[in-house]
Copies of this chain bind each other. A is one copy, B any other.
Amino acid sequence: MANILVLYYSKGGNTAKMAKYVAEGAAEIATNTIRIKSIDEANADDLFWCHGIAVGSPTQLGLVAGEMKQFWEKLDDVWMHIDGKIGCAFTSQGGWGGGAEIACQSINTLLMNFGMLVFGVTDYVAHQFTTHYGATQAGEPRMQKEIDSCKRIGRRLSEWVAVYVDGLTDLHPNNAKYSRHPTK
């Protein structure tokens, strides 16, 4: 009954693959409707439509890509009208230590500027692999833990929207049946 938008810009294809997994994770909560769009396909109506949004971009120079930045800068009549939506970030960087977390932080900064509530995920999806400030990746998502980190942030977004927009409080992750902190 609530709506989730997965919005991405992809240069070489890696972020697009992440977006697909984020959307799959979001779809695990059956009550939400999921829409996945690149910035070429999306417009202001998608932003008004959604209750929660995951924004993905390649890490470029340690920040959100200029193309994604400009998508938001060029929106008309959106600022001050989408406050309170729930947001999160995902990104693919060239190498570990290459700025993906800081790029997620820049996406979160952008979303906060629109008055959104942004979050990361406490859960680990595998040993030494987490998503505290957004889903981060080096290159293409291939390993199961890389795929799972995308799915987890998508699912968490969907959970928060279900809990807070639809009042489905039993979907709160503190009630989760799945493992939130595997040790292997």
Q: Mark A residues whose CB is within 8 Å of B.
A: 60-67, 69-70, 72-73, 79-81, 83-84, 86, 94-102, 105-106, 108-110, 112-122, 124, 127-136, 138-139, 149, 160, 163-165, 167, 172-174, 180-181
Contact = CB atoms under 8 A, between A and B. Distances in A.
Contacts of A135: 97
A15 to B, nearest CB: 15
A63 B97 contact: no
A86 B117 CA distance: 8
Q: Interface residues of A: mostly helix, strand, loop or mixed?
A: mixed
Contact of A122 (B83, B106, B121, B172): B83
B122 A80 contact: yes
A92 to B, nearest CB: 11
Contact of A64 (B63, B83, B122): B63
Nearest to A64: B63
Contacts of A139: 128
Contacts of A164: 84, 164-165
Contacts of A66: 66-67, 69-70, 73
Contacts of A132: 62, 97-99, 112-113
Q: Which of A70, A83, A174 gathers the greatest number of chain B CB atoms within 10 Å?
A: A83
B112 A119 contact: yes
Contact of A80 (B108, B110, B180): B180
A15 B118 CA distance: 24
Contact of A181 (B80, B102, B134): B80
